[in-house]
Amino acid sequence: MTTEDLSQERRDLLETLRTHRHFLRHTVQGLTEEQARTRSTVSELTLGGLVKHVAATESGWLDFVENGPATMAPPEDGDYSVWEDGFRLTDDETLAGVLETYDAVASRCDALVASVDLDHAWPLPAAPWFEPGATRTARRVFTHIVAETAQHSGHADIIREAIDGQRTMG
C-alpha cells in the first residue's frame, strides 16, 4: 500500500508525525556524545535523554494501541526508577543508539497509522494522571504522540541553543 492509497486523515497524521520527528532529529544532528548528555539549563533534561524519552513514550503508546491498557499500567510497587532512567542516557547508551531505536519506533508507528482502526478504543489504566474511566482511541493516541514529539522538540531546541547556539528554525 502506498501513501496515496491512504485516507487524507491518515496521510495528515503521517505527515505531521514525520515533520515533528524531523525537528527533533535535526536538533541533535552533529552532537558529540558529551553534548548529547549535557544539561545546558537548570532542567535535568538532555538532548540524548529527550530522544530516548520520546522514543520510549511513543513505543509505550503503540503497545497500548495494539494490546490495551495492561501495557501502560503504573508499577505496582511504586518504583519509578525505570521511568526516571527514560529521561537520560545511561553509561551503556549512545545518541546513535537511541536514534536507531527512535527510527524503529517511528517505522512501527507509521505502519500502525496506516493500518489500524482509528476509532478502536481501549480504557486507560488506573493511574493518577488519567481521568478515571477514560478511554483513548487509536486516533487520539496518534495525536498525543504528535503533541508529545512537538513539545519535546521545543525543549530540545532550547537545550541545543544553550549548548552551541544552533537553532532548529531561524
Domains, the chain: 3-164 (1.20.120.450)
Residue in the structure block whose three cell numbers are 482511541: 137
160 burial (CB, 10 Å; 0-12 / 13-18 / 19+) is buried
Alpha-carbon span 60 to 67, nearest angstrom: 10
Per DSSP, the three-state class of 122 is: strand
Residue 37 has a pLDDT of: 96
**Bridge partners for 123 per DSSP:** 135
> Distance between CA 51 and CA 56 in Å, rounded?
9
pLDDT of res. 1: 58
Alpha helices in the chain (DSSP H): 8-28, 33-36, 47-67, 81-85, 95-115, 138-164
pLDDT by 10-residue block (mean), the chain, 170 residues? 85 97 96 96 93 96 95 76 81 97 98 98 89 96 97 94 83
